[in-house]
Amino acid sequence: MRAFCRFEELSSIVKNKTSIEEDSITREGIAKLAENYQKYKSLLSELEQCTKEYVKKKKSVQGVMFKSIRKMNTEIGKTQYRKT
C-alpha cells in the first residue's frame, strides 16, 4: 500500500508519464490486492477463533479421558492384586 501511495503521489506530480493502460492495470491490481488482503485478514481471524475452540475442546476431552484412564488403571490394579 505504501508503494501505491507513492505511485499516487508521483502520478499527481508528473502527469502523463505512464500510459492509461499501465495506470489502469496498476489501479485494478491494487484494488484486487486490497480485496484479497481483507479476505486474508478475515480468514486469519476465523482461524484464530477456530484454534482457540479446538484447544478448549481438546483440554476438556483430555480431562474426561484421563479421569477414565485413572479409574480403569485402578480397577486393573485391584483385579491383578486379587489374583495374586
- Kindly calculate the radius of gyration of the chain based on its CA atoms and give it in whole angstroms: 31
User: In the structure, what pLDDT confidence band is assigned to residue 84 with cuts at 50, 70 and 90?
Assistant: low
What range does the domain containing 37 cover? 2-83
Is there a contact between 35 and 54 (Cβ–Cβ < 8 Å)?
A: no
Measuring CA to CA, which residue among 1, 49, 57, 4 is closest to residue 26? 4
User: In the structure, what pLDDT confidence band is assigned to residue 49 with cuts at 50, 70 and 90?
Assistant: very high
Length of the chain: 84
Distance CA 45, CA 17 (A): 41
Lowest mean pLDDT among 11-20, 25-34, 39-48, 60-69: 11-20
Number of domains in the chain: 1
- pTM higher than 0.95, yes or no? no
